[in-house]
Each structure stands twice: as C-alpha cells, then as structure tokens.
Amino acid sequence: MRVFPGTHLLAVLFVVCKIALMVEGQTLVQDGKINFTASYPDLLYCTNVQFPRAFSSSRNVRVIASIGYESNTRSVHDSAVVWTSDVTQSSFRVCALESGLGTNGSAVVNWIAFRSAPSGMLDGTASFSAFTSGTKCERVTFVQRFASIPKVLATVRHSVSNKSQDAMNVWVEELKADYFRVCLREVKTFDGKHQNLKDWLAFTQGGVQLTFQGKLLLENGGAPREQDNFAFCKVHNFTEEFYSPPVVIVTVNHLYDSKNVYSIKPENNVLNTWIEEITISSFRVCVKDLAGMESQHDPATVDYAVIGDFDPCINVSCNYFAVCKAFGPKDARCICVDNCPSYDEPVCSSNGTTYDNECMFQREMCHLKANFTLYHPGDCTGFPSQKGRHRLHHHPNWAEAVCEQVPLVPYVFYPDKPVHVQVSVNHVNFSDPSYVHEAAVAWVEDLRENNFTICVTQAGRNEKKNGKTFAMVDWLAYQGAPDGGVSGEMDMPTWWTGTSCRTVSLPPKKFQSVPTVFVSAQHERRGVKHDASSVWVEDLTTTSFKICVRELQNFDGAHQSIHVDWMAFEELHQPLFMEHGSLYFANGKKPSKEFNYAFCEDVAFKKPYNDSPAILVSANHSTNGGNLTPLYNSVSAWVEASDYINKTGFRACVKELFVNQHDPLSVSYAVMPDVCEPGWSFYNGSCYYTSDTCKTWSKASAICRGMGANLPAIESQEENVYIQHRHNGDKAWIGLNDIATEGLFTWVDGCPDKFRYWAESQPNDFQGEDCVHTLGPSHGYMWNDVECSTCHQYTCKKDYDECSSTPCLNGGTCVNKKRNFTCICPRTHKGRSCDGNMRIDGKK
C-alpha cells in the first residue's frame, strides 16, 4: 500500500451545512491540489504545502483532504489513504499511501483549509485514545443540533510526522442531526500503537465557500465488478461547468441496520473512498468495504464538497459567430474560430459572397463583425439579374411625373447586397413609327426587396400626344457586375441648379478599349418630382469617366440624396446582352422638325429576334475639340418606334442643349432579348418552365415531355437552389424516382449518377414513396421521397439551343454544344462569331 505521511493522527471532520467564503482577515477558506508526480517503491508520498496566504494564527487551523487521480488513467485504481500533519498558520504536511501496484505518480490530493468554521457550519477535532489494531470509533456530538442530517467531511491528522504506520482508513457511522461517529481502521494490521486526531467539518448547505455540496448514495447491490477493480463507483455530473477541474473533498458514511442480518457492524467493517477523476463537468467517486468480493454489501453514502470557479463563459453570448473562450477564471472573451477545415463545400452568404465552407463564412463574419447570414448552399450567382419592360399607364397633366411600381421576382437577389437598376425610356408601342416624342428622363426610387418604383418626366409640359400609353421603360435590375465588367454607384453632391458632375475611376488595365457604360439615377427621397434630371457620361476613357446630372427644369430647388448606378463592360455578358454598340451623332446641323428637333438614328440588329427586345441606352459626350463643358450642357437619350422595331432594329433619339452649336456625341446601347421562348427562363445553358398549379408526378412528367422537356435532372447545388427559388419556397417535383427498381433512384433522363441532396433519414420509402420532391429553403434546400400520387408544383427543363439565336455572322455555320457553341467561319471572316474581317491572303 502507498502512503502519504503522517504519524500521530488527528481526525479533522468538516461538517457542511452552509459554506460561505470564510473571511479571516482577507481569507478564511483556502483550497488547492497537490500532484504527486514521482513514483516511490514503498508507495508512500509526502510533501509540505504552503498556504497561498497565511492565517492570522495557528490555532484551530484545520485541513481536510481527499485523494484522487489524474484523468485518463486506468479504469479504477486501488484504494489509497491520505492524512495531514504539522499544520501551522502558513503551511501543512500531507501524505498519501497507496495500495496494490500504485499509480506511478498520478496521485492528486485535493485540500481545503480554514480557521474556525464559517457561518452555518460546525467544525472540530475528534481525539482517539490509543489502540493497536482493528476498528476504533468515537462519538462526536454537535454543540447545536442541525435542522436536518448534515454532510460531514473528515481527515486524519497525525500529531507526529513521518509515521506511516499510522495510516488509517476513515469513515463516518451513524450520522444524525445532533451527532455522528467517526471510525478509523489501520491500513496495515498490527502495525503498532495508534493515537490519532481527526479534523472534521459539518454542514447542511454550502454557502459561498462551497460551490457545490451534497450526498451520493451508492446502493452497492451485488458483488463489485472486476472491471471496477472490485470497487463501487459512481459519476456525479455538475449542473454547471467549471473553468478548470475543481477541488473535490469526499468522505464516506455508513449506517448499520440492526434489523438487517446482513448489515455489517462498524467494529467489523472498514470503508474507504477516493476520487477516481475530476473534470470540469463531473467527478467519479469510488468506495470499497471489508466485504470485498462478496455479494452482500451495505449501501454507503458519500458526502462531498466542491470548490472552484465556474467557467466564465457560462451565460456569455457572442455575436458574429464568435465563441466564448476563458482566459482565466474571471476572464471570458469572445474570439473568432480561425482553424477552419480545408475541404470545399461551398456556401453562399446573404451578401452574395461564396465561401469554401460554412466555417470560413463564420470566420469572416466574425472578423468583419458583419450580420450577414447563410443564404443557401452552393456557390452564389455571380451576376443575379432581372429585366423587363414596364408600360406606364398613367397620363400626366402639365409637367407631372409618372411613377409606378414594378414587381421583382422573389429569391433572385441576395438580401444583404445592394441592388442596382438601369432604366431607359422607349416608345416602341406607339402606333406612328415616324413620330418622335419629347425628351424624357427616368429614374428609380423606393427600391425594396420585392419591388421598386419607376418614374418618368417628359419635357414639353406634355402638350404633344403620347397615344394610349404615356411611355414604356426597359429596365435591368442586378447585383454585382457582368462577366469582365465593373459596376458601382456614385453619390451626387447636393446642388441647387445647373449641372453637377463627379469622376469615376476604373480599375487600372481593366479595359483594353473604351468600354460601354450605362448610367441611371436613383432617388433616395420619394416623390420629389423637382429632382427629375437628365443623366449622361462625359469624357469616357479606358481608365475613367464623369457622371453628369442636370435638373430638367432650371431653378427647381435643392437636389440631394441622388446617386447614379453605373455599369461598364468591354465584352458582352451573354446571354443577357446579345449585342451592344455605339451610335455616333455628328449633330453638325440643326435638328429637323421631322424628328421634333431631336437627333435620331436607326439601328439594325445584327440578328433578328422573335420579339421586341429590351434595350438600354446611355448618352456619352466629350469636352475634347472645343466642345461644351458639362456646366453648359444637358443630354437625354431614349428609344423611339420604327418600322422594324419588332424584327430587325430600333430608333435611338437624343437631345442636347444648344450653345452656339450642337456638339457631337454618341449613344451606347445594349440589346436584352428573351433567350428562351415566352414563359421560360434561361439558367446555365438550359431553359426552365415553372407551373403555378400542382400535379401528380406522372402528370407533371407528361406535361414536361409534351413541351419537349423533362422534370429537371439536377446537376449541381447551384441548380438545386435555382429551381427551389423558382417555387418561392414551396415543395416541387424533380425528375428523380425509383419507380422501376425499389431503392435505385434514377433521373428521368436515365442518368443515375447526378447530384443528390437528401434530407436526414431520407429516402425512407415510407408507404411506398417512389417519387422525389424538393422541400424548399426553409428545409435547407433538401429532398424527400413521397408518394407519386401527391400533388405538387413542378419545373420543366430543356437544353437551350445555343445556335437558335443565330450567333454566327457573315455566313458562319453554328455548331451547338452544351452551354456553348462554335462558329465555322468563311475564309473572309474570323472571330468567335465570325464578326472580324480577314484578307484572303491571311493578312489583317
């Protein structure tokens, strides 16, 4: 057996009713741990311990100790005993003696020290007369009766140092509200004369000194198990976690039942308890008695007291995905988790940014202190956009502006990323193709999640006829920038009259040639009609341009809270923009009355379109060559009807101020046709049609086939998200099923190996579920198998014929490919679309 020193024994008992912080001077209760890291052949360990703070006197200083072991050691250790000696106001000596093979230096002694019991507790020392062997018990009567049976903690104290033969097992018998008996039994039989003291502390409540206190009942039914080293053990979980493993003191007590023939009398018994391990969330206590491997064992109760600092992160909430980390017992800090895994499982945030995985998203939100959320799994859409044409139905009086609300399709845009809008006025619906309207300006205001407001004001006080419709507005709402392009917004300074300009700097070396630029105004103040202004571009180069705005009516008051959305690109973002170009207006002579004193040019499309496509226009002016400065100018551009607007082209018109001359200028345009047939939408090389009614899976599949399509075979997380957004969060059929072979899910196009995104525990074939539907954004965009006879909405999908838009010019032959095309050009032309000239000899 291994010993922790002590000679003469004093039994120090700690009876806990209520342990409050014992304040003697500054400190009444002190606690700590002692690690015996060395290994000794005789299994005896002793050391001197200095109190962190000396008591004011040595009188009545008591130390209660318990033996324990480091975590992660072998299952259950052999029994060990602990005692104290040489207790002074500044230090004490503690010894431990182990049994069996010992622990090779993993023993830990937990201790608490105090001088006089705290309020609500009693303490004392039980003196034992000399004895030589066997069990010795002494009755201790409390100076006052407790209201209920207290807890008692006890430790043997030796009056003489270095007397290991006085090593004792200690336990409590017959614990009552007014007294108890403390019992000792020598570890080694016939090991000489013993005369010990036993310090004790008794309490019913823990007070402020004890963090936790209580009793653990060990039923001890049946024989102890060999896997527990023939001990009875029990784990106690704390209700709150600690900053570090706390100090735990334990004492076992036993009650002899005279009515039970199997109950063991104290004089024929010996009990010992120790702590197997202590963690921040629990401790494990073990007990052995003299019955050993027998099947009959009395129940035992372990009284315990716990002292420690709670984890300071308890009840601490961290924002921005930070986690609380304790840097000390009273020092809780919210920190970012930086050690993210390296695997790729992309997620998209609500501000339209893609992250390699969810941890990396949370890490960046934490460092940026941003409130963005996870919006959907998979990559974000790089350039989400919606386009349309809105017919203004209201007929204004005098110089009134017309404002109407335009709806936006849900789920297209990211909620925490700015949406920009480009608008252009057109009159393509006007019945007289030769008629030219007055100049008009358009702007956007009240931009919301599901809609925005378009406003148009026309010059000329609306004296000219406009037909049944005042005007139409082609619009493009978008986030981010088109492929190869850049976009942004410019806040215009407050001005009172005339023209205001600001310079936009483009990224260095971004463009090799002068880009196409579109500008459009957005008013933050709603319904302020006198803010109607023309917007145009000045001095456009590859590195910069100016945005200029001028009030439509002079001296119209202060103009403020206006910003201009702009977009610049060199190459087309297809298929959104099918073609673009620039119209040059020489404006060398006076405008004609035929065109209502506007300058107009007709444009022939590079290819025919099935319907009248949406068209964006923006005017560009340069101050070079003696032209007007923006201070004295104003430019407005719009689209008129023409004889061939619906088939092969459009008419662009422009007006500018006259100061001694009309300056030359240009109008940039971009054509935005519908890529797919009416009612269908284009996404990543395919066209999609979404129903607004529910059908069974078989009926939905048949309807899709009738349109030359199929229920969608989803190929990626991005397509999965796109399709579920089309249904505004509702459940919808997809083309996955196991109708042919139970458990073998295949797509309607015959491919078994495409993307899968099952919900938890799915598919489960509950009641013959053979068809699959999406669950929607509220369920993480996952899938579930259901009965094919249920009724759900559906989406049809078919490949887009890249050659259908006649992309090859000048007699080139188009070869359709998946999400792409190739042009075989004649010898006279070259380029992706055969739009470049080539000499016959091969020289440019």
**Beta-carbon-side half-sphere exposure of residue 655 (alpha carbons within 13 Å):** 21
Contact 207, 121 (CB under 8 A): yes
The CA angle 636-642-647, to the nearest 5 degrees, is 120
Residue that is written with structure tokens 């002590």 in the block: 6
User: Mean pLDDT of successive 10-residue segments in the chain (844 residues)?
Assistant: 37 40 53 82 87 89 91 78 93 90 81 85 86 87 93 90 84 94 87 77 80 92 86 94 96 90 86 93 93 83 95 95 95 95 93 94 95 93 92 70 91 93 88 79 91 87 60 93 91 82 93 94 78 90 94 69 92 82 87 84 84 91 84 87 69 81 89 90 92 95 95 93 93 92 86 82 82 94 94 94 76 79 86 74 41
List, in sequence order, every beta strand (DSSP E) within 440-585: 440-445, 451-458, 471-478, 486-492, 499-505, 516-523, 533-538, 544-551, 562-569, 579-585
Backbone phi, psi, residue 704, to 5°: -65, -45
Task: Calculate Rg over the CA atoms of the chain.
Answer: 44
DSSP letters for 639-691 = EE--TTTTTTEEEEEEEE--SSSPPPEEEEEEEE--SSSTT-EEETTEEEEE-
As to burial, measured by CB atoms within 10 angstroms (0-12 exposed, 13-18 middle, 19+ buried), residue 752 is exposed
pLDDT value of position 460 = 65
List, in sequence order, every beta strand (DSSP E) within 681-752: 681-683, 686-690, 732-737, 746-747
Q: Reduce the DSSP state of residue 361 to 3 states and report it.
A: helix
Nearest Cα neighbor of 168 from 311, 3, 321 is 3
pLDDT value of position 11 = 44
Nearest Cα neighbor of 627 from 585, 567, 583, 564 is 585
pLDDT value of position 844 = 39
List, in sequence order, every residue forming a beta bridge with 157; answer none if it has no partner. 10, 197
User: Distance (Å, rounded) from C-alpha 320 to C-alpha 740?
Assistant: 48
Nearest Cα neighbor of 372 from 360, 362, 382, 386 is 362
Contact 582, 668 (CB under 8 A): yes
pLDDT value of position 419 = 95
Which positions ≥6 away from 130 have C-beta within 8 Å? 193, 194, 195
DSSP letters for 770-833 = -EEEE--GGGTT-EEEE-TTS-BEEEEEEE--TTTT----TTPEEEEETTEEEEE--TTEESTT
User: Distance (Å, rounded) from C-alpha 118 to C-alpha 141?
Assistant: 18
Nearest Cα neighbor of 649 from 588, 558, 581, 551 is 581
pLDDT value of position 341 = 92
pTM above 0.85, yes or no: no
Relative to beta strand 347-349, strand 354-355 is antiparallel
Relative to beta strand 635-640, strand 29-36 is unpaired
User: Distance (Å, rounded) from C-alpha 734 to C-alpha 726?
Assistant: 13
Contact 817, 804 (CB under 8 A): no
Cα four-point dihedral sign 291, 293, 298, 304? positive
As to burial, measured by CB atoms within 10 angstroms (0-12 exposed, 13-18 middle, 19+ buried), residue 427 is buried
The CA angle 383-388-393, to the nearest 5 degrees, is 150
Contact 400, 471 (CB under 8 A): no
3-state SS track over 4-54: ECCCCCEEEEEEEECCCCCCCCCCCEEEEEEEECCCCCCCEEEEEEECCCC
DSSP letters for 135-170 = EEEEEEE-SS--SS--EEEEEEEESSSS-GGG-EEE
Contact 444, 406 (CB under 8 A): no
